[in-house]
Amino acid sequence: MSQATDIFHTKQHWENKTKFLNHDAAVRFLGFYTDDLLRRVDFDQLIQQKISEDQHHNQPSNLKCLDIACGTGLVTFRLHSQLQQAISKLQSSSHPDISVEGIDFSSTMIQGANERLLELSNSSHVPQVLEVSLPKFYEMDGQDLKFPDASFDLIFSNMGVLFYPDIPKGLSEIHRVLKPNGKAFINAWTEDNPSKVPLEIQRKTLSGPLYSLVEAQRFMELCEKAGFSSVSIETVQARFKVPFRNYAELMKSNKDLVKEDEFPQFVQQLAERFGVKNMDEEEIEICTSAHVASLVK
* Distance separating alpha carbons of residues 46 and 212, to the nearest angstrom: 32
The mean pLDDT of the chain is 84
The residue type at 35: D
For the entire predicted model, the pTM comes to 0.87
Backbone angles phi, psi at 224, to 5 degrees: -65, -40
* Distance separating alpha carbons of residues 157 and 295, to the nearest angstrom: 12
* Distance separating alpha carbons of residues 294 and 232, to the nearest angstrom: 5
Of 162, 184, 107, 174, the residue nearest 138 (C-alpha): 107
Question: Tens digits of per-residue pLDDT, 78-118?
Answer: 999 999 999 888 766 677 789 999 999 999 889 989 998 99
Are residues 178 and 247 in contact, defined by beta-carbon separation less than 8 angstroms? no
Are residues 190 and 233 in contact, defined by beta-carbon separation less than 8 angstroms? no
* Distance separating alpha carbons of residues 284 and 60, to the nearest angstrom: 51
In order, the DSSP letters of 204-226 are TTEES-SSTT-SHHHHHHHHHHT
Half-sphere exposure of 38 (CA within 13 A, CB side): 22
- 23-38 vs 74-88: helix crossing angle, rounded to 10: 50
* Distance separating alpha carbons of residues 43 and 55, to the nearest angstrom: 19
The residue type at 3: Q
Question: Tens digits of per-residue pLDDT, 189-240?
Answer: 998 888 788 777 766 555 555 667 989 999 999 999 999 999 999 999 999 8
Confidence of residue 12 (pLDDT cuts 50, 70, 90): low
Residue 2 above 60 pLDDT? no
User: Going edge to edge, which strands form the sheet with 97-104?
Assistant: 136-139, 97-104, 62-68, 152-158, 178-189, 283-296, 230-243
* Distance separating alpha carbons of residues 221 and 217, to the nearest angstrom: 6
* Distance separating alpha carbons of residues 175 and 296, to the nearest angstrom: 9
In order, the DSSP letters of 31-45 are HHHHHHHHTTS-HHH
Share of the chain above pLDDT 90, in %: 51
* Distance separating alpha carbons of residues 144 and 169, to the nearest angstrom: 8
- Beta bridge partners, 296, equal 183, 230
